[in-house]
């Protein structure tokens, strides 16, 4: 269990403060995470990595010369917000664009994707490579759905070495993707991890058993079996990874690869070395030439008892970049001439608290939007327990509390924005950032995307008309489907959002009074949300437990339909 903490709410902030104090010669803190405290070559690509905290040395420990230029740090096991990503990217930018890389989790995809769009709008080229190394999380035919685990390190290292060598953004993306598709990992766990202040672990594995393929947040694996000997574990992991040789490898015999044996938190280094002894034997016997392997804690999960094995299949270019020197707090190889320190006054750190000028019509609309967010918060307060119960049937049960945290944060942000005469667009932007940042997870990211889409559409100048509101909700629908990849029938919030958006759009176009149009859309959304009970989930953490969710509507669809219904009185008054 996690034993050393003060107030659990401040755990990540205090850990970050201590980390930066211990490694000030390599990193400095900026809003949202950390960047190199040393100067990078102007006109080079910046590699920004990140995800939830709790996985050290990922992500902050991998920032430094030859490795990442910055790391975005969300709350424990929660995606960082788009604002956090944006802040770190602005501070780390060297003038040649930014590559964002992270494990392929829905919340991260949404938030990093939002930040990318914002950077591009400001003229900063930005691309994304989401790591997909975990072979247990999806079949090879759906490799794009796989999650990122310890293979994060290989992709981050290749991207950063390429940037350090002066590659263009296009070329950094190319080699990063090559590394991504040549990396395969598989993990096992003997027991779960405990969040600071929690009375019990997030999950448990039965005594004497081992979960095969379990994810680093407790996502379902593929089987349970008796705890093996160290040699038997090595044989199991190697056998699984050798079943899937990446394209471009003609023969295992004579192929070159790096090997990463990763401890997830409470497995000791000596235990890992015992396992690696057999891993090395098996791969050598198969004719593989091992290049600069790594054994130790690379991507952890607080105090989880478990380990993972990664094979990174090399070609000449990837091997050269893998061997390139690096000097980060938690990862060093070769030797580098120390770069001079940066001057903090040179950093481009956005003032997220600034309120731009707005028209009187937009300021008036912002007050109505604050009332809508207040109604949302009151509704979620009443329904949080029910939403959590729905989510627990096939998910992790945190939808209610996550929505509650997000709604409270959004209402507070909106209240502050109204007190400072913010326009509609600014109020929604601040509410989006607060919701996503406080709620965390996929639902936090999705609501951040939706509110941000409305923000961009409404702006701070024009008076929002019914047509403009309908257009904003259409953009919200499009952005959620673009970033989250969900479609109708996947049993997600999208199944309630699409009928709501389409009905509102049609009714407004037909000339209906906005209150009447909203009511029609609410009815369509409510019916569609209830209909998700007959669907099997095709995305997210509920997907591996699809059968269990039959007969139960999707909590995300239900919460959306309830919220738009709760807003009806505000629309009527408008």
pLDDT tens digit string along 147-189?
999 999 999 999 999 999 999 999 999 999 999 999 999 999 9
203 and 317: one domain?
A: yes
367 and 322: one domain?
A: no
* Residue 280 banded pLDDT, cuts 50, 70, 90: very high
Which tokens belong to 324? 């390139």
305 and 365: one domain?
A: no
Which tokens belong to 118? 């914002």
Task: Please check the confidence at residue 548 and state whether its pLDDT lies above 80.
Answer: no
Q: Is 217 a catalytic residue?
A: yes
- Structural domain including 482 reads 360-573
313 and 365: one domain?
A: no
What local confidence, expressed as pLDDT, does residue 541 receive?
Answer: 47
Handedness of CA 389, 391, 392, 394 (dihedral sign): positive
Select the more confidently predicted residue: 125 or 138: 125
Q: What digits encode the pLDDT tens for the residues 23-66?
A: 999 999 999 999 999 999 999 999 999 998 999 999 999 999 99
419 and 485: one domain?
A: yes
309 and 253: one domain?
A: yes
Which tokens belong to 161? 């070495």
247 and 298: one domain?
A: yes
Q: Does residue 2 lie within any of the structural domains?
A: no
263 and 314: one domain?
A: yes
Q: How many CB atoms lie within 10 A of CB 356?
A: 11
Q: Which of 330, 351, 378 is the last residue of a domain?
A: 330
What local confidence, expressed as pLDDT, does residue 397 receive?
Answer: 66
- Of 23, 69, 111, 217, which one is the catalytic site residue? 217
Count of residues in the chain: 574
Q: Does residue 458 lie within any of the structural domains?
A: yes
The Cα diameter of the chain in Å comes to: 75
CB contact at 8 A, 76 and 54: yes
Q: Distance between CA atoms of 401 and 352, rounded to whole angstroms?
A: 26
β-pairing verdict for 289-290 and 305-313: unpaired
* Residue 545 banded pLDDT, cuts 50, 70, 90: very low
CATH no. for residue 310?
Answer: 3.40.50.10440
Q: Which of 288, 314, 330 is the last residue of a domain?
A: 330
420 and 551: one domain?
A: yes
CATH no. for residue 406?
Answer: 1.25.40.340
- Strand order from edge to edge, sheet including 70-76: 27-30, 33-36, 70-76, 46-53, 98-103, 126-131
Q: Distance between CA atoms of 416 and 411, rounded to whole angstroms?
A: 9
Task: Please check the confidence at residue 396 and state whether its pLDDT lies above 60.
Answer: no
Q: Structural domain tally of the chain?
A: 2
Q: Does residue 309 lie within any of the structural domains?
A: yes
Q: Distance between CA atoms of 68 and 101, rounded to whole angstroms?
A: 10
Residue whose C-alpha is closest to residue 264's, from 101, 123, 55: 55
Q: Write the CA distances from 177 to 131, 143, 249, 331, integer angstroms.
A: 9, 13, 16, 22
Q: Does residue 338 lie within any of the structural domains?
A: no
Q: Distance between CA atoms of 420 and 24, rounded to whole angstroms?
A: 37
Q: Does residue 491 lie within any of the structural domains?
A: yes
Q: Does residue 199 lie within any of the structural domains?
A: yes
What local confidence, expressed as pLDDT, does residue 81 receive?
Answer: 78
CA angle at residue 136 from 130 to 137, to 5 degrees? 50
Element (H, E) at 344: none
113 and 174: one domain?
A: yes
CB contact at 8 A, 509 and 134: no
Q: Does residue 541 lie within any of the structural domains?
A: yes
Q: Does residue 339 lie within any of the structural domains?
A: no
Handedness of CA 437, 438, 439, 440 (dihedral sign): positive
Q: Which of 309, 330, 351 is the last residue of a domain?
A: 330
CB contact at 8 A, 501 and 477: yes
Determine which of 2-16, 111-125, 266-280, 553-567 has the lowest per-residue pLDDT on average. 2-16
What local confidence, expressed as pLDDT, does residue 352 receive?
Answer: 62
pTM: 0.76
365 and 318: one domain?
A: no
| Terminal CA-CA length for the chain | 52
Task: Please check the confidence at residue 457 and state whether its pLDDT lies above 70.
Answer: yes
225 and 319: one domain?
A: yes
């Amino acid at each position: 269990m996690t034993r050393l903490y003060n107030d659990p709410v401040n755990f990540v902030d205090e850990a970050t403060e201590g980390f930066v104090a211990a490694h000030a010669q390599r990193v400095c803190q900026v809003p949202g995470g950390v960047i190199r405290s040393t100067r990078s070559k102007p006109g080079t690509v910046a590699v920004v990595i990140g995800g939830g905290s709790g996985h050290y040395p990922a992500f902050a420990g991998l920032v430094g010369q030859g490795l990442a230029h910055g790391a975005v740090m969300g709350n424990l096991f929660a995606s960082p917000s788009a604002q956090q990503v944006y802040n770190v990217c602005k501070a780390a930018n060297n003038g040649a664009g930014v590559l964002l890389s992270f494990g392929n989790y829905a919340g991260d995809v949404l938030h990093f994707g939002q930040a990318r769009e914002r950077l591009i709008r400001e003229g900063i080229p930005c691309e994304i490579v989401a790591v997909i190394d975990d072979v247990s999380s999806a079949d090879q035919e759906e490799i794009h759905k796989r999650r990122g685990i310890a293979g994060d390190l290989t992709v981050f290292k290749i991207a950063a070495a390429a940037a350090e060598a002066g590659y263009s953004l296009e070329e950094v993306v190319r080699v990063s993707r090559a590394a991504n598709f040549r990396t395969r990992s598989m993990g096992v766990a003997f027991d779960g991890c405990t969040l600071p202040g929690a009375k019990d672990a997030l999950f448990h594995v039965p005594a004497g058993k081992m979960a095969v393929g379990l994810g680093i947040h407790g996502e379902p694996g593929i089987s349970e079996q008796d705890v093996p000997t160290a040699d038997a574990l090595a044989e199991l992991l190697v056998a699984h990874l050798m079943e899937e040789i990446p394209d471009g490898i003609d023969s295992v015999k004579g192929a070159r690869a790096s090997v990463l044996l990763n401890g997830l938190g409470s497995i000791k280094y000596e235990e890992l070395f015992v396992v690696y002894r057999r891993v090395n034997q098996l791969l050598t016997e198969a004719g593989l030439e091992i290049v600069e392997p790594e054994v130790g804690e690379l991507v952890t999960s607080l105090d989880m008892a478990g380990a993972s094995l990664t094979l990174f299949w090399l070609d000449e270019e990837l091997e050269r970049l893998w061997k390139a020197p690096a000097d980060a707090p938690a990862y060093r190889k070769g030797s580098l001439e120390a770069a001079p320190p940066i001057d903090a006054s040179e950093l481009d750190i956005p003032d997220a608290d600034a309120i731009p000028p707005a028209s009187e019509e937009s300021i008036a609309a912002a007050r109505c939007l604050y009332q809508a967010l207040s109604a949302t918060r009151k509704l979620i307060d009443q329904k949080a327990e029910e939403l959590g119960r729905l989510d627990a049937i096939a998910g992790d049960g945190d939808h209610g509390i996550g929505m509650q945290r997000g709604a409270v944060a959004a209402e507070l942000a909106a209240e502050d924005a109204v007190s400072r005469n913010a326009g509609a667009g600014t109020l929604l932007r601040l509410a989006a950032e607060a919701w996503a940042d406080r709620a965390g997870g996929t639902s936090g990211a999705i609501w951040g995307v939706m509110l941000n889409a409305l923000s961009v559409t409404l702006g701070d100048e024009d008076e929002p008309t019914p047509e403009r509101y309908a257009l904003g909700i259409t953009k919200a629908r499009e952005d959620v489907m673009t970033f989250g990849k969900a479609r109708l029938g996947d049993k997600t919030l999208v199944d309630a959002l699409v009928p709501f958006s389409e009905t509102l759009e049609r009714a407004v176009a037909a000339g209906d009074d906005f209150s009447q149009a909203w009511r029609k859309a609410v009815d369509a959304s409510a019916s569609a949300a209830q209909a998700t009970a007959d669907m099997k989930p095709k995305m997210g953490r509920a997907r591996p437990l699809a059968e269990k969710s039959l007969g139960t509507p999707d909590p995300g669809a239900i919460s959306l339909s309830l919220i738009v219904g709760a807003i009806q009185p505000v629309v009527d008054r408008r």
